[in-house]
């Protein structure tokens, strides 16, 4: 696998007249990548309304129809309003997201599925996608113990010595001063039981609406942290909106693509 298009925080429902250009532009950009792969790190929608999830489902259908590999994880907005699952985490919202998720889970590259979590294999790359939006009033999102156990079992069944392992989440594991949101809580178990023993090479996330690449050393193992920008200009909080072209074989090799370039292609 070569380059992939990395997106997050698309927030359908905020693009107005540019919505169709956003969908077409993403399709064109993803198909133009060498790996014909798009990674979406959550928040397809703004308020998880039926119309917004319908637009997300349309995007997914078009990507799959053009034979683009699609890698996703849900965001907090995909499960409710801006406060996400803190306010609305019920079956109706989850069923909306399933309209997006089900076609993705049937791809030939999928090796394991549990709820909205995925393990996908593309060449020498394994992508483990874990929902990170389980939250409470007092804490930001987290990845649950049962998800980590499932991920361990799934990776043990397929991982070979040549595989590069990448984790895709919505929330970041580690917070920085300039971040707009709190990082996950209870990350020690994830670090000790998944990141370190399975030599996870890259963590891709969104949620903070900023493009950033950094390096963390976890138990002596270097992990590249790729923060994807928002694709919604009205949600950028003063940062640039757009996407990233990312190379999994050289995970610090990231190129920023502006929102205007994406919509112009559409």
Question: Domains of the chain, with CATH numbers?
Answer: 4-265 (3.60.21.10)
Condensed to tens digits (0 to 9), the pLDDT of residues 178-226 reads 556 665 667 888 999 999 999 999 999 998 888 999 998 988 899 999 9
Would you call 230 helix, strand, or coil by DSSP?
coil
Phi-psi region of 16 (alpha: psi -120 to 50; beta: other; left: phi over 0): left
Condensed to tens digits (0 to 9), the pLDDT of residues 117-171 reads 999 999 999 999 999 887 655 556 788 999 999 999 999 999 999 999 999 999 9
Phi-psi region of 253 (alpha: psi -120 to 50; beta: other; left: phi over 0): beta
Find tokens 């390096």 and name the residue: 215
Contact 203, 221 (CB under 8 A): no
Which one is predicted more confidently, 37 or 87? 37
Whether this prediction's pTM lies above 0.85 is answered by: yes
Contact 10, 231 (CB under 8 A): yes
The rounded distance, in Å, linking the Cα atoms of 259 and 242 is: 4
């Amino acid at each position: 696998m070569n380059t992939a298009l990395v997106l997050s925080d698309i927030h359908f429902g905020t693009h107005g007249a540019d919505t169709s250009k956003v969908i077409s532009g993403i399709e064109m950009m993803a198909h133009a990548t060498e790996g014909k792969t798009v990674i979406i790190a959550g928040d397809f929608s703004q308020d998880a309304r039926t119309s917004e999830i319908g637009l997300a489902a349309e995007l997914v259908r078009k990507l799959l129809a053009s034979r683009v590999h699609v890698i996703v994880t849900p965001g907090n907005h995909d499960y409710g309003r801006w406060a996400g699952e803190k306010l609305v985490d019920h079956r109706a919202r989850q069923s909306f997201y399933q309209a997006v998720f089900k076609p993705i889970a049937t791809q030939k590259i999928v090796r394991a599925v549990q709820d909205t979590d995925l393990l996908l294999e593309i060449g020498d790359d394994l992508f483990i996608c874990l929902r990170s939006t389980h939250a409470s009033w007092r804490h930001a999102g987290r990845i649950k113990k049962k998800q980590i156990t499932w991920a361990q079992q799934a990776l043990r069944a397929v991982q070979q010595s040549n595989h590069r392992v990448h984790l895709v989440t919505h929330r970041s594991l580690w917070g920085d001063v300039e971040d707009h949101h709190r990082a996950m809580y209870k990350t020690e178990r994830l670090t000790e039981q998944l990141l370190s023993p399975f030599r996870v090479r890259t963590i891709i996330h969104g949620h903070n609406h900023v493009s950033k690449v950094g390096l963390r050393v976890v138990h002596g193992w270097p992990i590249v942290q790729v923060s994807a920008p928002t694709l919604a200009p009205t949600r950028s909080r003063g940062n640039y909106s757009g996407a990233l072209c990312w190379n999994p074989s050289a995970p610090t090799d990231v190129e920023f693509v502006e929102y205007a370039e994406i919509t112009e292609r559409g």
